[in-house]
Structure 1
Amino acid sequence: MAIALRALVEEADRYLNAARIQDYCPNGLQVEGRPQVRRIVSGVTASLALIEAAIEAEADVLLVHHGYFWKGEDACITGMKQRRLKALLNNDLSLLAYHLPLDVHPEVGNNVQLAAQLGIEVEGELEPGNPRTVGLVGALAEPMLASDFARHVQEVLGREPLLIDGPRTVRRIGWCTGGGQGYIDQAIAAGVDLFLSGEASEQTFHSAQENGVSFIAAGHHATERYGVQALGDYLARRFALEHLFIDCPNPI
């Protein structure tokens, strides 16, 4: 079955309520390809490797979390950007990208999907009432040592995380996928035992140690693989389309 590209984009925009969120890049259709859609390929970042894999899979739409045209980037279409856009346009492949709307969505968002993978019960927002905070807070069903939870994260995500140990026992957890390490202060204020993000900054070590909380950096890419898969599955069910997630490994 095929549907119009416009219908797919309108539904994704609506479902994610993309227009309401101020972001660092345009959300939605970033590159327009063929007008009819039968197959979606999803992935984390619209790298050339993912584009080539989507072309090989005969996709009509490439759905990603990290797309193009970020604020402050050079607008010239040269080098890496030229090669990526040329591959999309030469193959009539549409690029559909959602950044913050995919982080915060209550059903397919990166943060709720990561919680489901790790067995964390979501309790609410990391900083209730602040629309610019995308992280969440929740709890484990049973307390465990921070080192044991880190091993659990490694088993689930397939990547050894960085652990800054704090309290021996962890139950209450705050988290923000990707580059959300800056939310550690909000997590500390929320009274968590452990804060988890994708990346770490130099000051994250000191914030965790001096405030007596554990911290895990589990990988930007590794923590953000699940939202785009869930969104692709939703769109495939909604329109009876084919959907394939392709994971291009990234150690960061």
Structure 2
Amino acid sequence: MAVELNQLAAYCNDFLEVEAVTDFCPQGLQVEGRSPVRSIVSGVTACQALLDEAVAAEADLVLVHHGYFWKGEDPRVVGMKGRRLRTLLRNDLSLLAYHLPLDRHPVVGNNAELMRVLEVEGAVPFGRLGGVAIGMGGQLATPTDPGVFLERVEGRLETRILHVAGPQERIQRVALCSGGAPDLVEEAAEAGYDCYLTGESNERSTHMAREMGIHFIAAGHHATERFGAAALGRHLAGEFGLQHRFVDIPNPA
């Protein structure tokens, strides 16, 4: 089956509620290619390796979490950016990218998928940015030894974590926000969570976690954002009868 490119992009914009959040790059269709769309390759970041995989697979569209044209970046189409865009344009490939809207979506979002994978139940909004919640909070079915939960995170996200230990001997209430949101550890502690998980750490978040008494886990930006684009791709494949393949380009960061 197939769907017109503009119809697919409009559906995604509506489904992900892109108008609800102010972001750091344009959301949705960033590079227009051929239509109709029959095949999608999804991935975390529109890097050259992912584009090459899409070309080899003869896909019509690349669906990612991290696209192009970020605020503050050099706008010139030269060097690495030029090579990436030439790959898309020469192969008539479309690029569809969703950043914060894909993080926060309650069904296919990175955080919703993290909740599912880590068995954190009862999702509620958490972590406000630009007037909307971008993270989620919930609880484990039973109070869990921190070491057991850390092993779950590393095993299921296939990552190595940074852990700042809190005073709690058991973890039950967990807040999370995928990617780079270490400063939300303060909000998590103030809300009474036992543990806060995100992708990246910074110097001040370690001190905040220690002083506010909460377990803090930085599990990797890529590792915490591997699930949303894949989930959205599966959703679109089911909704429109498209072919879809998620390609994970390894990234330890």
Answer whether TM exceeds 0.5 for this pair: yes
Q: d(CA) in 1 for partners of 2:41 and 2:128?
A: 34
Aligned to 1:218: 219
Aligned positions, number: 252
Question: What's the offset of the Cα at 1:19?
Answer: 2.3
The Cα of 1:123 is off from its aligned counterpart by 3.5
| 1:142 Cα offset (Å) | 1.1
Alpha-carbon deviations, 1:110-135, whole Å to 9, x = none?
11111001000134112589734311
Q: CA deviation at 1:168?
A: 2.0
How far off its partner does 1:20 sit?
2.6
How far apart are residue 165 of structure 1 and its match? Answer: 1.2
Name the CA distance, whole Å, in 2 between partners of 1:115 and 1:33. 34
Residues 60 and 69 of structure 1: is their aligned pair in 2 closer, same or farther, counting only changes over 3 Å?
Answer: same
Q: Give 1:11-160 correspondences, 5 Å limit.
A: 11-127=11-127, 131-160=131-160
> Does structure 1 conserve the Cα–Cα contact (< 8 Å) formed by 2:38 and 2:60?
yes
For the residues of structure 2 that align with 1:225 and 1:193, how far apart are their CA atoms?
Answer: 24
User: Do 2:163 and 2:216's aligned partners in 1 also have CA atoms closer than 8 Å?
Assistant: yes
Query: How much is the aligned-residue C-alpha RMSD, in angstroms?
Result: 1.4
Unpaired runs of 5+ residues, structure 2, are: none
Relative distance call for 1:128 and 1:90 in structure 2 (3 A) is closer
Partner of 1:207: 208
Separation in 2, partners of 1:173, 1:193: 6
| Cα offset, 1:189, TM superposition | 1.0
Q: Tell me the alpha carbon deviations over residues 41-84 of structure 1, each in whole angstroms, 9 at most, x when there is no partner.
A: 00000000110011111110000000000011110011110010
Q: How does 1:186-201 map to 2 (within 5 A)?
A: 186-201=187-202
Q: 1:137–1:173: 8 Å Cα contact kept in structure 2?
A: yes
- Cα 1:93–1:128 change in 2 (3 A) is closer
Q: Give ranges in structure 1 of 5+ residues lacking alignment.
A: none
Relative to structure 1, the CA distance from residue 70 to residue 127 in structure 2 (aligned partners, 3 Å threshold; closer, same or farther) is closer
Q: Deviations over 1:17-46 (max 9, x none)?
A: 112321100000000011211100000000
- TM-score, normalization: structure 1? 0.97
C-alpha separation between the residues in 2 aligned to 1:178 and 1:2? 32
Distance 1:81 1:201, change over 3 A: same
2:51/2:87 contact within 8 Å kept = yes
Q: AA paired with 2:191?
A: A
Whole-Å separation in 1 of the counterparts to 2:128 and 2:86 = 43
What TM-score do the two structures reach when normalised by structure 2?
A: 0.96
Q: Report the secondary structure of 1:232's partner residue.
A: helix
Task: List 4+ stretches of structure 1 deviating above 4 A.
Answer: 127-130
Cα gap change, 1:10 to 1:129, in 2 (>3 Å): closer
Separation in 2, partners of 1:145, 1:40: 41
1:183 aligns with 2:189: no
CA contact (8 A) 2:117 2:156 kept: yes
**SS state of the match for residue 133, structure 2?**
coil
Match of 1:10 in 2: 10
d(CA) in 1 for partners of 2:128, 2:181: 16
* 3-state secondary structure, aligned to 2:134: coil
